[in-house]
């Protein structure tokens, strides 16, 4: 069965600091990779996704993620965080292909950005 590991459960940064959140998955085949974000009081929403092609994916609000197949990783980055980035971030994986794929989520990372 697939599993997703997010190494940092809580991260605290000051504004303008750089961010990197780790995500590793266990599945040897083709995968689809996602980062979802949940801002306080809001729904889960998609931040970015990787299906194929360029392993460096750019998402909304200046976020990007890099798929490194050899490391089974899909780390999320942002060069300079803002107070408004305070949220919980979830990495998720589904098996690649055209069939029905179940999303498997990591446990999430709570990011607090202090002004």
Partner 1 sequence: EAGVAQSPRYKIIEKRQSVAFWCNPISGHATLYWYQQILGQGPKLLIQFQNNGVVDDSQLPKDRFSAERLKGVDSTLKIQPAKLEDSAVYLCASSLGAGGPGEQFFGPGTRLTVL
Inter-residue contact 106 to 22 (CB < 8 Å): no
Sole binder of partner 1 in the list 26, 107, 112, 114 (CB under 8 A): 107
- Please identify, using beta-carbon distances, which residue of 61 and 102 lies nearer to partner 1: 102
Compute the least distance from the CB of residue 15 to partner 1, in Å.
27
Residue 25 has a CB neighbour count (10 Å cut-off) of: 19
Compute the least distance from the CB of residue 111 to partner 1, in Å.
15
- Please identify, using beta-carbon distances, which residue of 18 and 45 lies nearer to partner 1: 45
- Please identify, using beta-carbon distances, which residue of 10 and 71 lies nearer to partner 1: 10
Under the binding rule (CB under 8 A), the answer on residue 97 touching partner 1 is yes
CA torsion, points 59, 86, 11, 3, in degrees to nearest 10? -50
Compute the least distance from the CB of residue 9 to partner 1, in Å.
8
Interacting stretch for partner 1, rule CB under 8 A, among 41-49, 55-63, 68-76, 79-87? 41-49
Which of 114, 109, 68, 71 minimizes the C-alpha distance to 91? 109
Inter-residue contact 83 to 19 (CB < 8 Å): no
Residues 49-68 that bind partner 1 (CB under 8 A): 49, 51
Angstrom distance (rounded) from CA 46 to CA 76? 13
Residue 107 has a CB neighbour count (10 Å cut-off) of: 12
């Amino acid at each position: 069965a697939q599993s997703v590991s997010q190494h940092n459960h809580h991260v605290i940064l000051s504004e303008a600091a750089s961010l990197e959140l780790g995500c590793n998955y266990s599945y040897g085949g083709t995968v689809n990779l996602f980062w979802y974000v949940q801002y306080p009081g809001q729904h889960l929403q998609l931040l970015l996704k990787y299906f194929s092609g360029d392993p460096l994916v750019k998402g909304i609000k200046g976020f990007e993620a890099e798929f490194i197949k050899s490391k089974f990783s899909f780390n999320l980055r942002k060069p300079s965080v803002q107070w408004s980035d305070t949220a919980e971030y979830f990495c998720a994986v589904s098996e690649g292909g055209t069939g029905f794929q179940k999303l498997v989520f990591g446990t999430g990372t709570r990011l607090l950005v202090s002004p």
